[in-house]
């Protein structure tokens, strides 16, 4: 069973454009779960341009499935996640002004820092996932930090998929096998959508979870949120 975690950042972006509370991020999170989502993902950034720290705090008691908080492990981010204690924290290497995640960690170069952060998360009872490119050596290094999972950065797959699906997915199959051999769970995310998700899921062994936001919220404009979520869930059957 591969779980679907819905990233609701784009809902917060739309809300913040007017400075009020429409759409209501908390209601959308509850509705996503009601429509079949297996988890809710948020990515609070330092400038709070979409999900804000107070959103994270308000969402914690509302999310009944799995709460996944992504972010760069700055002091502020770590204070927030250690206070909220979600089920999972996904560590990403984004610079504070990054528009979106664009690469995985160089784990070997950041081994000491990541190991210390993973230890802090484990002390708080939080699962630790590290955002990585589909490289077996990087995945082995992630296992050495004590992390529980890796999240595979899937934009390269999405970019290559229309031209050559098998070549696009091949590095991810190898990465999933390497992660499993190293004792890591496997998550994936970035630019997965209704066109490429089913093939990715069918080919990838040991895939625990996908985190999808932009595509689901975009599809919801045409399909409605419930139909969009159920359509993505169908790709994971």
The catalytic residue positions are 43, 70, 190
**Cis amide bond preceding 198, omega within 30:** no
Q: Which tokens in the block code for residue 72?
A: 């760069």
What secondary structure does DSSP assign to the chain, as a single string? Answer: --EEEEE-HHHHHHHHTTTS-SS-HHHHHHHHHHTT-SEEEE---TT-SSS-HHHHHHHTTT--S-EEEEE---HHHHHHHHHH--SEEEE----TT-SS--S---TGGGHHHHHHHHHHHHHTT-EEEEEE-S-HHHHHHHHHTT-SEEEEE-HHHHHHTTT-HHHHHHHHHHHHHHHHHTT-EEEEESS--TTTHHHHHHH-TTEEEEEE-HHHHHHHHHH-HHHHHHHHHHHT-
Token pair 């924290």 in the structure block, residue: 89
Task: Indicate the angle between helix axes 165-181 and 136-144, nearest 10 degrees.
Answer: 30
């Amino acid at each position: 069973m591969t779980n679907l975690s819905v990233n609701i950042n784009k809902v917060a972006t739309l809300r913040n454009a007017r400075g009020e509370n429409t759409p209501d991020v908390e209601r959308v999170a509850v509705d996503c779960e009601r429509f079949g989502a297996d988890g809710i993902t948020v990515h609070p950034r330092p400038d709070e341009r979409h999900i804000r720290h107070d959103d994270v705090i308000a969402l914690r008691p509302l999310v009944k499935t799995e709460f996944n908080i992504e972010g760069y492990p700055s002091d502020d981010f770590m204070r927030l996640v250690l206070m909220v204690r979600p089920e999972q924290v996904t560590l990403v290497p984004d610079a504070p002004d990054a528009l979106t995640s664009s690469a995985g960690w160089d784990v070997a170069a950041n081994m000491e820092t990541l190991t210390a952060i993973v230890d802090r998360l484990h002390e708080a009872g939080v699962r630790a996932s590290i955002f990585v490119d589909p490289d077996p050596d990087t995945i082995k290094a992630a296992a050495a930090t004590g992390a529980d999972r890796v999240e595979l950065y899937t934009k390269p797959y999405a970019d290559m998929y229309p031209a050559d699906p098998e070549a696009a997915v091949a590095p991810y199959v190898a990465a999933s096998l390497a992660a499993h051999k190293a004792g890591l769970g496997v998550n994936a995310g970035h630019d997965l959508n209704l066109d490429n998700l089913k093939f990715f899921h069918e080919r990838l062994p040991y895939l625990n979870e996908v985190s999808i936001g932009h595509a689901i919220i975009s599809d919801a404009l045409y399909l409605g949120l419930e139909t969009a979520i159920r359509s993505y869930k169908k790709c994971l059957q």
